Amino acid sequence: MIFLAAATAATAAKTATAMEKLKGVPPAFWVKLAIGIAIFVAAIIVMRKVAAMNKVVLAVLVFVIVIVVGFNWIYERSEPAMLTPLVNKIAPFFPSKGSYSGKQQAGPKM
């Protein structure tokens, strides 16, 4: 009986409580968790505001954002890998960073 009590006490001393385990978590994790929760709450607030917004204004706003991001992807060639085939077909019609710098390095024609 004494041996059983001693073994139980030894295992209880080895197992950490939940609070002790949480103290071992690095502070960077808690900062990232707080930022994630704040972004989630902000997204909910924004979605509620957008739901009450005039649909024409919303459509124009979404159109402008998509166009700006799309042109940035074409100019910088920083599109996601899954959209590369689509951007490869569209890119020749628009200027890109590489083609612009190549033309600027050439000297003037005389």
DSSP 17: P
% residues pLDDT > 70 (the chain):
76
DSSP 109: P
Is 13 inside a domain boundary? no
Is 81 inside a domain boundary? yes
* pLDDT higher than threshold 80 for residue 34: yes
The pTM score is: 0.49
* Confidence at residue 76, expressed as pLDDT on a 0 to 100 scale: 87
Is 41 inside a domain boundary? no
79 and 87 in contact (C-beta within 8 Å)? yes
Is 2 inside a domain boundary? no
Stretch 37-56: mean pLDDT, rounded? 92
Is 30 inside a domain boundary? no
Range(s) of the domain holding residue 88: 55-92
Computed over its alpha carbons, how large is the radius of gyration of the chain?
Answer: 29
* Confidence at residue 5, expressed as pLDDT on a 0 to 100 scale: 57
Is 10 inside a domain boundary? no
* Confidence at residue 107, expressed as pLDDT on a 0 to 100 scale: 62
| CA 37 – CA 45 distance, rounded (Å) | 12
Residue predicted with more confidence, 3 or 18? 18
61 and 40 in contact (C-beta within 8 Å)? no
Stretch 42-55: mean pLDDT, rounded? 91
Cα dihedral across residues 87, 65, 96, 98: positive or negative: negative
Number of structural domains in the chain: 1
Residue predicted with more confidence, 6 or 19? 19
